[in-house]
Amino acid sequence: MRCPKCRKITGVLFTDSENKYKCPFCSEKFVSNGNDKESMAELLKQLADDYGKELFLNTARINAILMDYVPDKRKERKLILNIMRENAVNELIRLYGKSDGETLFEIKKISHRIAEDICITESASEYALMSVAYALGLVVSGGLPDSFMNTVSETQAEPQKKVFTKKMKISGNEIDRSCNAVGFRAYSADKNLTEIILPETVTAIYPKAFINCINLKKIYLPSELKSIGTCAFEGCSSLEIINVHENCGYIVKDGILLDKRTKSAVRAENSRNRQKYIIPENTERICRKAFDYNNAETIKLPRSLKIIEPDAFYMTPCLKYIETDSGNRNFSSYEGVLHNRRGNILLKYPPSVADAGYYFEDRVEEAGYRAFSCAVNLKTVTFTGNLRKIGDKAFEYCTGLERFMFPMNLVSIGNYAFYRCESLENIIISRKVTEIGSLAFAGCVNLKNVTIGESVKYIGEGAFNDCPNLEITIRNNSYAEMYCKSRNIKYKL
């Protein structure tokens, strides 16, 4: 919070009352009330100025700071943290340089996704995004007023429902039969939950309702169930059996929970006896985290498939081969590696492939989001001259990746692109690269030298965090020199 006298932001110091504080700079004593509070957007902007914009890439740290500065703004603080956990900061960073109209349009798109994913109103989501955007220097005219915070609550997607929440779990896992929805994170990380039969009154399961219930093995879905929220079973690594009432809007076929209404694959059962999954024909969408922590070695995609949501195959550690129906108009497979139909975007490299090296197809122009994530066996990559973009988190946690040479036509390196690639030692940024994303090489603990040429115009926050032995070689680039100086990164010209 900000001292009403000297106007400096200060941590909270308890004095003789739980609501009374003392400024360590000017010794002014003041009471925390509505008149002393700064708007959340202004506070976040001040934090960005004081600590640097990379603060917004560290959820734990900003939580600790906000708890200290604004202990009375619990709802606002919780909302800001929730949108940060949904990758909102990186999505906002991509909007630098866009017009007000484009930025506002993109923020509304991000807001809509987050509102669905974490079960809040879109107005609350927009408020939080606008606040963080303002702190990051994305000043958008026609922003949202503080009054929108009045709409914030934990589960507002369907407020007419009586929702079973974590607070109601007084004894055991029995759901109150008067409830007709399982709330957002209702069973979050419940290690005691191994089996559950949802009562017939339940018509909705909210997003992330059973997230990280690592011992949940069996669930029964009732006949009146109409909707299952995004990532409802994320992290349920032991979920072997999904039983569905015959009149339910969902069905289990070939080990996959399907939404009959939207023709979506919601979640795959994780059976140790099943190594190949054939997605049923007529399925048009694979949902986020549908296969996370699954033991699948081979996945076959049907002719009907149109959409694969981000992270659908994230954390599938045994996956070796992705096969597509030859008649599919949206996706293709080259030696088990998933591409779009044209073949110019590499979408997913199976992380359990035993080969130590990978050669990009000539037609590939982009390595997509998390395309090679957690491919621990990968040691070398040979890019073609046609590659122009390395997407966000494309090679994150490729801990065995030792060497590669960026192609000459590469323009963009995304956020977290090589995060925690701990075996990398030397990198030469090719001459056409104009931007290096936030945390692009963070955690590359053995990285010794990066050469940056004159074409680089933007380097994101924390791009070289936790690289203790790094020295950057700079060639005719005053921007890169200023970047290194301002962050105490060792460099030479």
The predicted-structure confidence for 268-281, as pLDDT tens digits, reads as follows 999 888 999 999 99
What pLDDT, on the 0 to 100 scale, is given for residue 337? 97
Residues 8 and 52 in one domain: no
What pLDDT, on the 0 to 100 scale, is given for residue 370? 96
Residues 145 and 165 in one domain: no
What pLDDT, on the 0 to 100 scale, is given for residue 235? 95
Question: How far is residue 27's CA from residue 29's CA, in Å, rounded to a whole number?
Answer: 6
CA dihedral 157, 159, 161, 164 (to 10 degrees): 80
DSSP state, residue 14: B
Is residue 271 assigned to a domain?
no
Is residue 427 assigned to a domain?
yes
Residues 54 and 188 in one domain: no
Pairing state of beta strands 20-22 and 29-31? antiparallel
Residues 339 and 477 in one domain: yes
What pLDDT, on the 0 to 100 scale, is given for residue 29? 59
How distant is the alpha carbon of residue 444 from its chain centre? Answer: 20
SS3 at position 64? helix
Mean pLDDT to the nearest integer, 278-303 = 96
Report which of 410, 408, 128, 385 is spatially closest to residue 394, judged by C-alpha positions: 410
- By residue range, what is the domain housing residue 198? 160-248
Residue 148 pLDDT class (50, 70, 90 cuts): very low
Question: How far is residue 117's CA from residue 132's CA, in Å, rounded to a whole number?
Answer: 18
What pLDDT, on the 0 to 100 scale, is given for residue 320? 96
Is residue 313 assigned to a domain?
no
Q: Are residues 291 and 312 in contact, defined by beta-carbon separation less than 8 angstroms? A: yes
Residue 185 pLDDT class (50, 70, 90 cuts): confident
Residues 14 and 84 in one domain: no
Choose the weakest-confidence range: 42-46, 117-121, 178-182.
117-121
- For residue 273, give every residue at least 6 positions away whose Cβ sits within 8 Å of its Cβ, in sequence order, or none: none
Question: How far is residue 172's CA from residue 165's CA, in Å, rounded to a whole number?
Answer: 13
Go through the chain and tell me how many residues it has.
493
Mean pLDDT to the nearest integer, 325-352 = 96
Is residue 204 assigned to a domain?
yes
Residues 48 and 16 in one domain: no
Domain end (from 107, 130, 151): 151
Choose the weakest-confidence range: 91-100, 181-190, 193-202, 478-487.
91-100
Give, for 286, the enclosing helix (H) or strand (E): strand 285-286
Domain count across the chain: 4
Residues 182 and 78 in one domain: no
Q: Which residues in 106-135 are b (16+ Cβ under 10 Å) and which e?
A: bbeebbebbbebbbbbbbbbbbbbbbbbbb
Residues 99 and 211 in one domain: no
Domain end (from 124, 151, 178): 151
DSSP state, residue 475: S
Domain end (from 151, 175, 209): 151
CATH number of domain containing 492: 3.80.10.10
Amino acid occupying residue 98? K
Residues 492 and 362 in one domain: yes
323 pLDDT exceeds 50?
yes
Is residue 119 assigned to a domain?
yes
Residues 121 and 139 in one domain: yes
Pairing state of beta strands 337-340 and 321-324? unpaired
What pLDDT, on the 0 to 100 scale, is given for residue 294? 95
Is residue 260 assigned to a domain?
no
Q: Are residues 467 and 488 in contact, defined by beta-carbon separation less than 8 angstroms? A: no
What pLDDT, on the 0 to 100 scale, is given for residue 82? 86
Residues 448 and 421 in one domain: yes
Report which of 469, 369, 438, 490 is spatially closest to residue 55, judged by C-alpha positions: 438
Question: How far is residue 308's CA from residue 34's CA, in Å, rounded to a whole number?
Answer: 46
Is residue 295 assigned to a domain?
no
State the pTM of this model.
0.79
Residues 129 and 95 in one domain: yes
SS3 at position 340? strand
